Amino acid sequence: MGYSRSPTKFDIQFESVAPITFPATPKPVTVGYYGEEFTVESICAGTATYITMIVKYCARDVLGAYSLYSYYRSATTAALAQKLGAEVFQGTCPGY
């Protein structure tokens, strides 16, 4: 686990080798390994923010683990974008 930062980039990494059980419906999902890297970076000369999330996990219930990850990733990204007042755009930086 650790992080790095600069004036234009923040990167945090988390790793757990101990099993983690996530409460989920219809049944809890247990992963034996979980690793995550989350990066927030200023791009387009400071006019935009680029966010990346990389997650690695090992689970017997692959479908359940992916469904759980997909749900939380979507919810987290939407909440973060709203908090930052960020807009989603495709392609090149706006105005370029």
**Tens of pLDDT along 19-69?**
888 887 778 889 888 888 988 888 878 777 788 888 888 888 888 888 888
Residue 75's pLDDT band (cuts 50, 70, 90) = confident
- What is the pLDDT confidence band of residue 93, given thresholds at 50, 70 and 90? low
Quick one: pLDDT at residue 11? 93
Would you mind telling me the total number of residues written for the chain in this entry?
Answer: 96
**9 or 45, which is more confident:** 9
pTM of this structure: 0.62
CA dihedral 77, 40, 57, 2 (to 10 degrees): -140
Supply 6's token pair.
């600069």
Question: Where are any strands of DSSP class E within 1-96?
Answer: 2-6, 9-16, 20-22, 29-31, 33-43, 48-58
